[in-house]
Amino acid sequence: MVLVDAIQSDKSTSFTLELHATGGFSYYVIRSAVNTQKIWNKRTSLYESNYPVGVYSGGGSSNELFIFSGTDGVAVIDDSTIPVKPTGIQTLGAFANYADSLKFNLKTPAVDTSKKEFYVTVPESGFETTYPMMVTFKPRNSSYRLYISNTEVTDGSSYTFSKMTAATSYSLEIRDGASPVATGTLKFTCLPIVQIYSENNISTIYSSGNIVVTEPEKPDTAELLNLNIRVRGATASGKPKKSYALKLKDVDGQSSLDRSFLGFRNDNNWILDAMYIDPARMRNRVSTDLWNDFATLPYFSASEPKLRNGTRGAFVEVFLNDSYNGLYCMTEKVDRKQLNVKKLKYNVDSTVVTQRGGMYKGSSWTIGTFLGKSWWDNTYNQTVPAYSNYSDIWCGFENKYPDLGDGEPIEWKPLYDAINVSSDYSSDANFIAKLYDTYDMPVFLDYYLFIELMLATDNQGKNTYLSVYDQTVSPKLTITPWDLDGVWGRRWEGSSNLTYANQNFETFINTYEHSQNNVYIRMLKLNYNNFKTGLKNRYLQLRGSYFSYNSLYSRFEHYYDLFMKSGAGNREMNRWGSSSMTNEMTFLSNWITARLNYLDIQYLGAPYVNSGVEGTRHIDFSFYPNPVHDFLTVSGINAGDIVQLISMQGILIYQHTATGNKETIDMSRLNPGVYLIKVNNQTTKVVRN
């Protein structure tokens, strides 16, 4: 293949694009216009670390099929696309040849074919209890019978599972007369189950498939939906356990489809976070939960009361092509819907479009994501480069809204101007004069304490979103966290040998990581507007609530208890050879204790002492988290204790007689405010955030 700088009149540089479909996706053959026997082909072997592309005689190889895609991995769709319907289906594994349907409370179990295991999700409240379920069984032959633990169960009847736990399993058999023709093991979890089917090799390019999300609280049949799926992440994509980006598709396999899962927003974009480098499998979720609960809202929150400056997520168990794939966190994406930044504005005849809101994701370390710091080793100076509004990548950032790939106009100017304000090339006077009009400093102050508390290793500029609400009114940028795996004593690659708790954050990131962004460097140096005092006062305010040891550790403990109760923790460790989650909980407890002790001395000059009176009196039970967003766990109680949740107006909201030493209360549907937790005759307060 010879590259030339102009189209040749003899058409030797002209090619046709032929649309084909295979494996549930659309591809192109790129054929010479002069010699139609010659087509583009990618070599299968490396040459000087590359895979050469050339023009060869066609031979039917898959390497002759090309996808045109944007930088986000989304394939460009031709207006003459061949309709392709994904072909994956939800199966019954070892029972597939003997039954058309097997359901428990209308839920089809997820299957691990190689182990002949069937998994059903039930509400957490059903665990460790006697739990009846309606069984639906449609055999393919009238002589086939279903047996659970040697008891025949007929279609539409109820079977009662005694003392249901993750460790308890039940034998399943389909018998033809007295002879078993198919056997398996029935198991239960209290986590949602996500089943993914794809006939394609799932890579960094979206390919088609199907998904089923079965939620424990919904006693009905889950939908089988179309989706496009790809591997996501930079470092994470090279790990054995992959994270996935999901795009739901309508019945045509092309149009977007919105669905609400797990009580979250109605959307077509979802993420399955593998959390592979984190032995606890929860750092990212705990950290984002914490941010969502305590952080100051962006400057435009009064105009957008539904905005969320961080994702929500829930832990699920994933089955890939009828094989157990482990514990994941299914989360929303940070996007325009999440922050409610202003949409594009069209004039009356739609010929002029004005960009208002904008979102930029920090993806790599550059002078841009350092917010104007020349480079982490200071070996050479850099200026902020020029940008092009015809490219959705600039200076380490990806443009995330509007969507250039959909033909929408984008504008880098708010980010470009902001970086120049905080740049090393901006004078102190210019920095001070423009800072508060450029950056949402109350949110930036909270974000500093947030990443300092966790000793975050990769989140000072990269792995953040910067967003402008409406640049026609103000260019001010707010910040949103993302990808918080390298925190709480772990680095971004999972190690813990450098992340000891009793060290200064600035010294740490300058010594071992990519240095600090220039907004914080200059604010700490200049101490403009008493920035250091603001950090101290805010730390003291948070230390008695969200930053207390009990509040922080209980967040981890809540998820750990859920992993153990559901059995997902042990299944995850067995599937991926993970280290002990129990040992990691001890590590986290010790690390949080040491970190708070260190920060107390740094900010307060002495160990923190809670001088408040309200809410500090002794009670014999404990509860977490406080404040609570979804589920409150009351512990330290005994079977027979009466647990109540009461409004401040005296209305009884919840009452249950405890059957063990813990009780979980769902507060997700309650209005924010203060509530009373009462166990027998002892009462204290809890805050619903």
- Which string of DSSP letters, residue by residue, matches 3-42? --SS--TTSTT-EEEEEEEETTEEEEEEEESS-TTEEEEE
pLDDT, position 619:
67
CA dist 602 and 176 (Å) reads 73
pTM of the model: 0.79
Q: State which residues of the chain have pLDDT below 50.
A: 81-87, 377, 379, 612-617
Asked if the bond preceding 402 is cis, omega within 30° of 0, the reply is yes
Q: Return the CATH architecture of domain 612-689.
A: Sandwich (2.60)
Side chain identity, residue 200: N
Residue 387: phi and psi, rounded to 5, are -120, 165
Side chain identity, residue 51: Y
CA dist 108 and 446 (Å) reads 45
Edge to edge, what strands does the sheet with 117-121 contain? Answer: 110-112, 117-121, 179-189, 170-176, 144-148, 151-153
CA dist 67 and 78 (Å) reads 11
Which candidate, 486, 489, 483, 552, places its Cα nearest to that of 311? 483
Q: Which helix (DSSP H) or strand (DSSP E) does residue 230 occupy?
A: strand 225-232
Which candidate, 410, 472, 466, places its Cα nearest to that of 439? 466
- 468-486 pLDDT, tens digit each: 999 999 999 999 999 999 9
pLDDT, position 617:
41
CA dist 300 and 339 (Å) reads 10
Which candidate, 154, 164, 61, 92, places its Cα nearest to that of 121? 164
Which candidate, 125, 133, 126, 131, places its Cα nearest to that of 102? 133
Asked if the bond preceding 625 is cis, omega within 30° of 0, the reply is yes
According to DSSP, residue 216 is labeled T
CA dist 255 and 2 (Å) reads 39
CA dist 297 and 504 (Å) reads 27
CA dist 101 and 144 (Å) reads 13
Strand-strand pairing, 110-112 and 99-104: unpaired
Q: Within 10 A of 124 (CB to CB), how many other CB atoms are there?
A: 19
CA dist 622 and 92 (Å) reads 43
pLDDT, position 354:
81
- Whether 191 contacts 566, CB under 8 Å: yes
pLDDT, position 251:
86
Could you give the 3-state DSSP secondary structure of residue 589?
Answer: helix
pLDDT, position 626:
85
Place of tokens 């393919």: 140
Domain map of the chain by residue range?
A: 15-64, 93-189, 193-274+301-336, 340-544, 612-689
CA dist 171 and 517 (Å) reads 58
Burial class (CB in 10 A: 0-12, 13-18, 19+), 89: exposed
Which candidate, 678, 686, 684, 675, places its Cα nearest to that of 641? 678
Tell me, rounded to whole angstroms, the distance of Cα 612 from its chain centroid: 36
Burial class (CB in 10 A: 0-12, 13-18, 19+), 279: buried
Q: Regarding the domain delimited by 93-189, which CATH topology (the fold level of the hierarchy) does it fall under?
A: Immunoglobulin-like (2.60.40)
CA dist 337 and 260 (Å) reads 13
Place of tokens 């050879």: 577
pLDDT, position 649:
62
CA-based end-to-end distance of the chain: 62
CA dist 440 and 474 (Å) reads 11
